[in-house]
Structure 1
Amino acid sequence: MVYSYNKLWKMLIDRKITKTEMRKRAGITTNMLAKMGKGEPVSMDCLAKICSAMNCGIDDIVEFNIEKRAERGNN
């Protein structure tokens, strides 16, 4: 699966909030923020904390796509 947090990054820009400020408001670790920066999966608890702090839904901050097996060469 491919995770994208681009919606969250855009929301932060639109609201003029830094990633560090969002991290502190949400009460998440720097490790979780780093994982998100790399497009890696994070826990549902982490996403819920961010949604609560940002007053939004999960679909407002993360997208995921299942990679097609055909693209990998597996059928």
Structure 2
Amino acid sequence: MTYNYNKLWKMLIDRKITKTELRKQTGITINILAKMGKHEPVSMETLAKICVAPDCGFDDILKIQKEVYSK
């Protein structure tokens, strides 16, 4: 599975919220933002904290893509 947080980055730009402001509002660490920047998975608790700050849902910030393997 791949995790894509591009929806979150776009929403932050649209709402003029910096990553620093998001960190302060949610209490998440810079390391978590770095993981998200590399499209790595983060905990549901982290995603919930992020959704509360700008009042959004998981679908607004995250896209999960199933990897297709060929034989």
Normalising by the residue count of structure 2, what TM-score does the alignment of the two structures yield?
0.95
Identity within the alignment, %: 68
Q: 1: distance between equivalents of 2:6 and 2:24?
A: 19
**Could you tell me how far 1:20 is from its partner in structure 2?**
1.2
| Superposed displacement of residue 44, structure 1 | 0.2
- Structure 2, unaligned stretches of length 5 or more? none
- Structure 1 stretches lacking a partner, 5+ long: none
- Structure with bigger gyration radius: 1
Runs of 4+ in structure 1 displaced over 6 angstroms? none
Alignment of 1:53-64 (within 5 A): 53-64=53-64
RMSD: 0.7
Q: Secondary structure at the match of 1:54?
A: coil
Partner of 2:37: 37
The answer to which structure, 1 or 2, has the higher relative contact order (CA under 8 A, 6+ apart) is 2
Residues paired across the two proteins, number: 71
**Secondary structure of the structure 1 residue equivalent to 2:42:** coil
